Chain A
């Protein structure tokens, strides 16, 4: 497939430098939303979890989780299998209702996040086992990310009223933009169901980014992709923050990629948060080493970008 061959991003038009650590300040003009308030003292977190607990038939999946995600950061939640990472993401996106605790998204606080209105709150998520719409073309998949913006009713859409056409034109322009950004131009007319897994990960990311979310939740974005694709995806995730201004929460068990990519890392184990801090702090935390890393694996640290 296109672009998949390169470890370093083939970038159009020199919009961003291929280096993975693009300095934030140079993109301040593009990333309008996220960094405006950055560094200006007390700012409201984009996402705040307070005292979240969740259990399934007596088995505690999450216990008293507190988590704050600041504007414009890449926040990783890591942990071994069954630590409660996916449950946490499902609580944030409203697919699960926590037994206790509250989720605050920007200025709104919820006991149970309304999934159907998530997109309106500027929150989008991806899924661990790919949730692309296989029967739609890549472009239509991306356009689906803007479904909540289509305010014209179906009769107006059939009739092609000025409102419906204007929304359609705007959405198509936004979709083209993100399709170019993620190097999907050559496959945009292909049915998603005919594309390989690694490419579909990018399609899903494009669908998430097209709405320019304030908060992007990524569920194991690096699961099941090759090392080269991992580097590439990591760069895309970073660019999503730098250029699209999204605050990012990603859950992952591939600790190597995460450490290089994230600003702060929270570690879950058996439903509890056992550590929270910068990658360096977490890496040297004894509880994390005991619970998660076990005996330090040389090969895992090698993966760090």
Chain B
């Protein structure tokens, strides 16, 4: 939250809004026209879905301090809820399906967040782990969720909104971009409000927050609800805009960890960090496979790629936790501060996220 606020404070609101404006023109205008289908289909659309999921997890873990290992469950709930809403209530516009799917995910998230009211520290994470296994099991076990597909696979309907169809790579990218932009702006507003301060207060000192009059129950459940809502919406994008055919096995514990790693690498309690981390997680395997193929040729097959990817990401997480717990975003801020000093623009020291 304060990330953005403090950044604009440092660089001046004008420079900051120019930067945002340029980024928006590139993202909404230049890329859909000039970018290749591969870029939008295989890189940017999954990046957007994962970034939104990471924003959601960051609300819960980075800001409100509740560790979650069940992100993929809410990801899946969003995808399957939107699928069923579309299938069973075809009158609803797709955009409404997307929002309602978010609310379904929020409801499930709140249920699994209830134990966090009694448990402290590491233990609520176990409850979210239960969500992870329960949701995956339920989606496979009960055919209703996947319209009786034997292995729980669903085929997402074509994206369309207000008479326009978004089936091309550029269309699906633009749809995702619009959803992620709106959701991120709303999240930012929430985090900059008193509710956002309450999240951090509960994270930093629960007893003091309680004495001051922060409603602990409401605040924690709201964090679970908002977080699951965002992850659910991201799940809809993942299923409808990116993969278009998904199965429960695709939302396994690995996916939960992937989202958790994004916010650890990107930077906890920073929305920009969520985007940076997601970009890294998406681009890194592509770079690694190119690099591996160039250096080692045929030996570097997909098995080796996956192994080396895990090893490097694992090592990176340890390195970040030890040397820079605030993640990539802290490195980025320091880099920008150094540039600012060189160009003679005085800046304040780096803020906390």
Contact = CB atoms under 8 A, between A and B. Distances in A.
B205 A193 contact: no
Q: Is the interface of B mostly helix, strand, loop or mixed?
A: helix
Contacts of A168: 193-194
Interface-central residue, A119, A124, A143, A158, by most chain B CB under 10 Å? A158
Interface string B196-215: 01101101110111111111
Interface stretch (B45-53, B313-321, B331-339, B345-353): B345-353
Given A133-B205, A158-B186, A194-B352, A144 B211 contact: no
A144 B195 contact: no
Contacts of B190: 154, 157-158
Nearest to A120: B213
A115 B210 contact: yes
Contacts of A147: 194, 197-198, 201, 209, 212-214
B353 A115 contact: no
Given A117-B213, A118-B213, A164-B193, A136 B207 contact: no
A277 to B, nearest CB: 30
Given A133-B200, A144-B201, A93 B189 contact: no
Interface string A124-139: 1101000111111100
A191 B203 CA distance: 15
B264 interface: no
Nearest to A143: B197
Interface in B284-327: none
A125 B211 contact: yes
A265 to B, nearest CB: 25
Contacts of B278: none
Contacts of B211: 93, 95, 115, 118-119, 124-125
Interface of B: 2, 6, 9, 186, 189-190, 193-195, 197-198, 200-201, 203-205, 207-216, 222, 226, 269, 348, 351-353
A164 B216 CA distance: 20
A8 B226 CA distance: 48
A154 B351 contact: no
A135 B195 CA distance: 14
Given A116-B216, A136-B201, A137-B2, A154 B193 contact: yes
Contact of B195 (A115, A127, A148, A154): A154
13 contacts: A119-B211, A131-B207, A132-B204, A133-B205, A134-B352, A137-B352, A143-B194, A147-B213, A154-B190, A158-B186, A158-B190, A189-B9, A191-B352
Nearest to B188: A158
A84 interface: no
A144 B207 contact: no
Given A116-B210, A145-B212, A191 B205 contact: no
Contacts of A305: none
B26 to A, nearest CB: 27
Nearest to A126: B208
B183 to A, nearest CB: 11
Nearest to B268: A135
A117 to B, nearest CB: 7
A133 B348 contact: no
Contacts of A157: 189-190, 193-195
Contacts of A212: none
A238 B96 CA distance: 58
B194 A150 contact: yes
A207 B195 CA distance: 17
Nearest to A156: B193
Contacts of A143: 194, 197
Contacts of A124: 211-212
Given A133-B200, A147-B213, 13 more contacts: A116-B210, A116-B215, A119-B211, A119-B212, A133-B204, A133-B205, A137-B352, A144-B201, A157-B190, A157-B193, A158-B190, A189-B348, A191-B351
Given A116-B210, A117-B213, A133 B201 contact: yes
Given A154-B222, A158-B186, A148 B269 contact: no
Question: Which are the 5 A-B pairs with shortest beta-carbon distances?
Answer: A148-B213, A119-B213, A191-B352, A131-B208, A157-B193
Contacts of A95: 207, 211
A137 B208 CA distance: 16
A119 B247 CA distance: 50
A158 B230 CA distance: 15
Contacts of B205: 131-133
B189 A140 contact: no
Given A119-B213, A194-B352, A135 B193 contact: no
Contacts of A137: 2, 6, 351-352
Nearest to B348: A189
A160 B189 CA distance: 9
Nearest to B190: A158
Interface string A152-174: 00100110100010001001000
B213 A116 contact: yes
Given A154-B193, A157-B194, A133 B213 contact: no
